Each structure stands twice: as C-alpha cells, then as structure tokens.
Amino acid sequence: MRSLIFFFISVFTILSFVAVEHFAKGDLPILLWWTQQIYPHPSENITLIRCGNVKCYSTKSRGYLDNKNTKGIMFYGTGIDPLDLPLPRTQDHEWCLFHEESPLNNYLLSHEHFIQLFNHTATFKRESDYPITTQDIFALEYLTERQAIDIKVKNEKRKSDGFAALMYTQSHADVPSYRDSYVEELMKYIDVDSYGTCLHNKDLPENLTNPEESFQKDQFLDFIAGYKFHLSFENAVCDDYMTEKLMRPLHLGSVPIYYGSPKAKDWMPNNHSIIMVNDFKSPMELAEFIKYLDENDEEYLKYLDFKKPNGISNKLLKETVLNRDWGSHDHKYYFYNIEDKVDYYQGFECHVCREIHKRTNALKEHEKDPSWFPKPPPKMADNSHLGCPKPFSPLSGHEIPSSHWSFTYEDTKTVADAVVEMLRRGEEDPSLTYMYYTQLKKKQKQNSQNTGEL
C-alpha cells in the first residue's frame, strides 16, 4: 500500500513538473532569481505571478537561464558574486537589482560602471526605479501610536536609576562609518550608557542580557524607551540609507541623535524630530546642546510634537508610505499591513514584470514598422540608484587611507572594472573575473611605479 501511494505521489509530481514546463513555454516572461539568498515564493521550481493585467513566471532554478522566455535576471545585492554571474549575457537578459541592506555588504554596487550593468533597481535610494527607502517605517502609525514616557518619569530615571541622558547599543564593531570613534570622543564631554559590546560601560538588566537577541522584545523596548536620547549611528554613510536604528527611537518616543544618511531629515515626521550629528562642528558642541535639552523640558518636548494628533506634517513621508504598493516585510509588524499588500520582493518582481511586458510590446511594434516605431533603448541604472561615498571619518570628514575599508572600496572598483571588461568581450566563463582582476592589478602597480619614477 505504501509503495502504491509513493507511486501515485511520484507520478503526480512528474506530471505537475511537465505541466509547468509546458506552460512555461508560452509567451510569458520568466524572472530568474540568480542569487539564491532570496526567493519570495514557496515553490522550489517555478511560480506564476499575477501583476494586475500582466503575468510572469518566477523561479530560482538556474536551469531556466537558457530558456528563450527568460527575460529578467534577479539579483540580491548582498549575494552578488563576480565569480558567479549568469554568462554569457544576452540582449534579452535584463539584470534587476534588489538591495535594501547596508552599503558595506557589497561596495561593488557603489561604483557607477558596475551599477550601470543593471536595467531595473529596487534600493534604499529614492532615485531607484522601485524605491524602498521607507522599509523600516511599517506604517505612519508606527511612528505615532506609541506615546513617549512622561518627561517626569524620564527625569526621575536619570536620578533614581542612574540613567545617562544618552544610550548607545552597538555590538558590530569595525564598520565603515567609524561610529565608535565619534561616540568615544563624545563620551569625553557627556555621559553615555553603552550596553552593547562596543564601548561597553553598563550592563543590561538580567532579563535582557543579550541586546542583539533582545531588540524586538517588548521588555527591551520598554527599558530603552526610558532614555531621553538614543545615539542612532548607522554602520555606513549613504544618502537615504536609514534603518531601525533611526526609526525605533522615533517609535518609542526617544529623540534620535543621528549619524548616517545626510538626507535623513527629508523623511522625518516633521522638521523638528531628529538631531543630526552633522549639524554640529564637534562632539563637544553636540554634547553641550544635549545638556541644554536635558535641562530644559519644554525645548526637549518639542522634538516629540510629532506624537500629537496630526503631528506628522512631512508631505513626502506621508505620500510615500501611503502610496507604496508593498507592505511590511517584518512579521512582527505585519498587523500594520491592513490592505494585505505584497512584500517588497514580490512588489519588485511585479515592477520588473510590467517593465518587461512594456518593452516586449514596444519591440513588437518596432518590428512591425521600424520607420514609425523606433527601437526602445534598454533602461540603465546610474550612480544615483545606489552609489555611496568612500568611507570617511565622522570626526575629520576625511578618508582614513590606512583603513581596510578604504582598501575594500578601491579594490571593489578594480573588480567592477574587471567584470565590465569581461562582459564587453562577451566572456562566457565568470571564473575569468579573477584573471581580468589580476591583470588590472598588475597594470595599476606598474603605473604606480612609473609615476614614482617621474
């Protein structure tokens, strides 16, 4: 009996696969997720996706690379490996980049000649084709519905519980924003409670011994909400790269002292809800301002005005959050997704699907009458879609040449050069990237030696 059941299951599986294979041979475009970290569907083989009035297939099976209907190659930015690219690249293959994570995860993407290899983008930058800048603002209500702890209670915690005005919770050291160097200097002028392994000077309560594991626990959120200010420092500096480090204190009703995206104010609830480190000449000047707010409740509370009814006045923020076609990606906050919108991975898939259908239709019109319908040029990303600056010190504003982050940034530029040259020559073996890279490094060394001799 068991063998008979197994037989029927096997036959059903084979027939299902054949049916999907047969169906996939129609005219519907196929989107192939090349990097394997992300695939937003339960099916292991291929999934039909419906995007309004158009449809596509989505798959992570690399066997579809040579399928004539494969049009979109989907890349997850962190997982892009120059030694594992879908080659040869054909004219039919439109490369699509999704990258919501830190620039430090892959500095290849910060170089324009590499980002130009992509036709469609979804990144934290507002200039990308499908921007996910507000990824950590799960809803406007996320910013406003939780009221701040009463100022009298916060002031009492400063006395009875020995709270400093500021808290810092980081355990990821050696990052390209060099944030610890700034905080360490700031500590010379004002007390900071640091609970993470970075610059650690205070222990969490026993029930919250590991801050990394506690971040989403209600007890941890209640605890840190008692602080007047949060040092919210990103691990990398880039326009529009903003994470939960900024949004969490806004949610809790603590004032963020922020270092990261220079354009963060563009996305704040109002024009008075964040303190930007870059607005101060030095850590000492910042410390003096924090002391002033700490001693003046009326001035401090102005930074929490956005918590009041209709307190969000930022038109860009409201329109972006309300009009985006994707919902929360964080299951803890999925209850905000009252319209049951897709997550941003599936949203980007549909964006690409629609764009590919649009281009396919335009090409068909061109083939019918080239004199009347010009051939549509392929879309091409540029540096505004993701490009981030070379790492620099938050204290001096200058590069630190001896840092391995400076080396990494420059070295990925050489890798990008190697990939571009390899594609230009129509190479079919991605492992040749290393050969092209070593040749370029030799040329750079020779040029450096020649320059030194002059």
Domains by residue range for the chain, with CATH: 24-134+347-402 (no CATH), 140-315 (3.40.50.11660)
User: Strand 70-76 vs strand 94-99: parallel, antiparallel, or unpaired?
Assistant: parallel
Strands (E), 261-396: 275-276
Q: Reply yes or no on whether the pLDDT at 423 is more than 60.
A: yes
- Measured in degrees and rounded to the nearest 5, phi and psi for residue 232 equal -110, 90
Q: Which residue has the higher pLDDT, 287 or 448?
A: 287
- Measured in degrees and rounded to the nearest 5, phi and psi for residue 294 equal -60, -30
Q: What is residue 23's predicted lDDT score, i.e. its pLDDT?
A: 44
Q: What is the mean pLDDT of residues 94-114?
A: 98
For the chain, helix, strand, coil in percent to 5 are: 45, 10, 45
Are 20 and 46 in contact by the 8 Å Cβ rule? The answer is yes
Are 136 and 244 in contact by the 8 Å Cβ rule? The answer is yes
Mean pLDDT of the chain: 91
Neighbours of 5 (CB within 10 A): 9
Q: What is residue 168's predicted lDDT score, i.e. its pLDDT?
A: 98
Q: What is the mean pLDDT of residues 148-177?
A: 96
Q: What is the mean pLDDT of residues 171-176?
A: 95
Q: What is residue 273's predicted lDDT score, i.e. its pLDDT?
A: 98
How far is CA 408 from its chain centroid?
19
Q: What is the mean pLDDT of residues 64-73?
A: 97
Place of tokens 């971040």: 215
Q: What is the mean pLDDT of residues 337-346?
A: 89
Calpha distance 214→219 (Å, rounded): 8
Calpha distance 180→184 (Å, rounded): 6
Q: Reply yes or no on whether the pLDDT at 7 is more than 80.
A: no
Residue type, 383: N
Calpha distance 205→162 (Å, rounded): 13
Q: What is residue 447's predicted lDDT score, i.e. its pLDDT?
A: 84
Q: What is residue 12's predicted lDDT score, i.e. its pLDDT?
A: 34
Q: Reply yes or no on whether the pLDDT at 72 is more than 50.
A: yes
Q: Which range among 19-23, 163-167, 200-204 shows the weakest confidence by mean pLDDT?
A: 19-23
Neighbours of 34 (CB within 10 A): 21
Q: Reply yes or no on whether the pLDDT at 2 is more than 80.
A: no
Q: Reply yes or no on whether the pLDDT at 6 is more than 70.
A: no
Q: Which residue has the higher pLDDT, 142 or 454?
A: 142
Q: Reply yes or no on whether the pLDDT at 334 is more than 80.
A: no
Q: Reply yes or no on whether the pLDDT at 453 is more than 70.
A: no
Calpha distance 204→193 (Å, rounded): 10
